[in-house]
Amino acid sequence: MTRNKKIIAVIILLLVASSFFYQGNEDAIKVIAVKPEIRNVEQSVSNTRAGTIDACRRSKMSPAMGGQIAVLAVEEGDMVEKGQVLLELWNKETKARVKAAQRSAEQTCIISAKAQRDAERANELFSKGLTSDEAKEAAVTNAESGAAACNAAKAQVEVSQASLERTQLIAPFGGIVAEIEGELGEYVTPSPVGVATKPTLDLIDNTCIYIKAPIDEIDAPEVIAGLKARITMDAFGQKEFPATVRRVAPYVLDLEKQARTVEIEAVFDNPQEFLLPGYSADITIIIDTSEATLSIPSQALMGGGFVYLINSDNSISKKEIEVGLSNWQHTEVLEGLTLEDEIVLSVDRLGLEDGVRVTIEEIDNSQEDKDSDDEADIAVKIG
C-alpha cells in the first residue's frame, strides 16, 4: 500500500469513528408538545391600521350670523333633546319684530274670520231671495281678500321667526353637548367662505357609536354588511365589545406609501355612554365559525400542510393533515389527527426534522396561560 493510500484509509476510519461517536452521543431535542382539542374556530379579518371610534350623528354648529352671546342654556356634558334651544345671540330687536308680526297676523286673521262669516250669511240670504247678487259677490270677495291677507300675515310671522332662529343654536337631534367654544357675553362670528373656524358648539348623539377602520383589499371581498364583529380599544385593555358591520366602502383607497385598503364601518351592538368618539380601536370581523371542532394551535402547522407527530418511541414524523377554518391562534383539523395524538408545538427548535428523537419539555400551567395571553396580545396588535 502506498503512502497516499494509507493516509486516505486513516482519514476514512477517523470520519467513520467520529460519525459513530456523534450518533451514539447525540442528545434528544427538547420540544413542547400539545394535543388537539375541541373548540370553536373562527375565520376572521382584522383591520390593517388602527380604526377610530365616531358617533353616527355629530353636529359641530355655529350661529348663522355674528353677535354677542346673550343666553347659554347648556353646559358641556349636558344631555339635550331635539328642538331644544342651546344658545342665543343678542336678539331683542328680532324678538320684538316677531311679536309685532304675530300680533298683526292675529288681527288680520280675526278680520278675515268675520269676513268669512259675513260671506256665509250673504250666501244664505241670497238663497232665500233676501239680498242681491251684487251684495253676495261683494261679501264673498271681501272674505277671500281677508283670507289672503291672513295667510300673508302668517307668512310674515314665519319670515320673522326664521330671522330669530338665525340668532339661535337649536339641537337637530337629542344627544350630549361635547364642547362649547365661547362664554356668555363674548362675540362670535360666522366662518368666512373658504375659511374653517372652530365651531361654537359640538353636539354628539351617543346612542349610536361606530368604528371606521381600513382592511386590506385582499380581505375586502369576504366582508359584507351584517357580519358580526368584535371591537377592542387600548383604553379598555382586552375587553371586547360586540358589533355589527353596517357598511363596506364601494371603492379602494389608493394612498401613497401604504397598502391599498377598503374602509368598513361597524356599529356597537350595545353602545355605552363612556365610549367617546376619537378612541383608537381595532376590529375583528367574523367571516365564518366552526363550532365544537377538532383544532390545533396554528403555530404547530407547517407550511407544507403537515405537523410533527410524536411517536410512541419518542421519535417524530411528518403527518399531513387536512385543515378547515384558521386564524392567528387556532386551526381546524378536518382529517389526519385525533384527540389522542401528540404533536410538536415548538416547531422553531434547531434540528427538528422527520425521524429525530425528542423529549417532552415540561411547562407549568401558569407559564402556559401567560404564553396564551401573550399570543392573544400579539394577535391583536398585528390585527
**How does pLDDT run across 148-200, given as a tens digit for each residue?**
999 999 999 999 999 999 999 999 999 999 999 989 999 988 766 666 778 89
CB 38 within 8 Å of CB 339: yes
Q: What is the reported pLDDT for 257?
A: 66
How sure is the predictor about 230, in pLDDT bands with cuts at 50, 70 and 90? very high
Q: What is the reported pLDDT for 267?
A: 92
**Residue 289: pLDDT above 50?**
yes
DSSP bridge partners of 59: 203
How sure is the predictor about 147, in pLDDT bands with cuts at 50, 70 and 90? very high
CB 41 within 8 Å of CB 326: yes
Contacts 24+ apart (CB under 8 A), 372-377: 375/299, 375/328, 375/329, 376/238, 376/329, 377/238
Place of cell 272674505: 143
Q: What is the reported pLDDT for 118?
A: 93
**Residue 371: pLDDT above 70?**
no
**Residue 206: pLDDT above 90?**
no
**Residue 15: pLDDT above 70?**
no
Q: What is the reported pLDDT for 381?
A: 37
Give the pLDDT confidence of 244-283 residue by residue, as tens digits.
Answer: 999 999 999 887 667 889 999 999 998 776 778 889 999 9
CB 129 within 8 Å of CB 98: no
**Residue 367: pLDDT above 70?**
no
Share of the chain above pLDDT 90, in %: 61
**End-to-end CA distance of the chain, in Å?**
71
* 3-state DSSP assignment of residue 13: helix
What average pLDDT does this structure show over 69-87? Answer: 94
CB 356 within 8 Å of CB 320: no
pLDDT higher for 339 or 10?
A: 339
- Please, what is the Cα angle at 369 between 293 and 332, to 5 degrees? 20
Average pLDDT, the chain: 85
pTM above 0.85, yes or no: no
Rounded-to-integer distance, Cα 87 and Cα 81, Å: 14
Rounded-to-integer distance, Cα 299 and Cα 215, Å: 23
What average pLDDT does this structure show over 17-40? Answer: 72
How sure is the predictor about 382, in pLDDT bands with cuts at 50, 70 and 90? very low
Q: What is the reported pLDDT for 374?
A: 47
Give the pLDDT confidence of 110-134 residue by residue, as tens digits.
Answer: 999 999 999 999 999 989 888 899 9
* Burial class (CB within 10 angstroms; exposed 0-12, middle 13-18, buried 19+) of 11: exposed
